[in-house]
Amino acid sequence: MGIGLLALELVNLVASLGILAGYRFPGTDFVVLIVVDAVPAAVFLLMFVVVVLRVRSGRNVAINRLAIVYLAFATVQTIANVFYLVSSGRPYGESLLWGVGVLGGAYLQIVAVFAGWYWLLDHSVPGGAFGFPEADVNPAFSPNLVDYVFISFNTNSTFGPTAELVKSRHVKLLMMLQTSLSLTILLVFVARLVGLER
């Protein structure tokens, strides 16, 4: 789990830095975004240290609790980034290409954070949070990070899972939140395209 969350945090960090670099925010908003971006990174570093120290002892409960804290902060960070993109951000130079890059960073951030949630919840909910079609063919099938990134990517792009069965109400709520954020990014992109036409 530690390596998967490391990959998710790296995508999250790069996307956040791209958003901060690509938009002009009022001074106080910029400071708020820096703080909102720094907290998940600090929690992740703490979690990574705990993972390294406890991996041999087999105490996964503390690791899972820290993963929940990290993902909660990363979710707040993602929501704040999307909010600021919609409410106060303007791309440097009003360039469509730059705006696409920044919105793409926000899109990837949403995929990364929610893939982490799906992974954690599927391993925490008794019986799993998802029903994978591969498990019907191969009972020994065990989903990995790619499967959860796939679910998250599909939820972002098609606004729902494609082949997987969602068995958890918590995951359904998370998917509604993810779809709302993804739709917001899409609407901002369309609005910017319409604005360039004028």
DSSP conformational letter for 164: P
Mean pLDDT over the full length of the chain = 77
Q: Could you list the residue range(s) of the whole structural domain that residue 140 is in?
A: 2-197
pLDDT at 159 over 80: no
Nearest-5° Cα angle at 54, 68 to 12? 40
Q: Cα torsion for 195, 22, 39, 45, to the nearest 10°?
A: 130
101 close to 18: Cβ distance less than 8 angstroms? yes
Distance CA 12, CA 76 (A): 12
What is the phi-psi region of residue 143: left when phi exceeds 0, alpha when psi lies from -120 to 50, beta otherwise?
A: beta
Range with the poorest average pLDDT among 75-89, 136-150, 165-179: 75-89
Residues with Cβ < 8 Å from 39, sequence gap 6 or more?
A: 73, 77
In tens, the pLDDT along 4-15 reads 667 767 777 777
Structural domains of the chain, count: 1
- Average pLDDT (169-186) is 91
- Average pLDDT (24-42) is 67
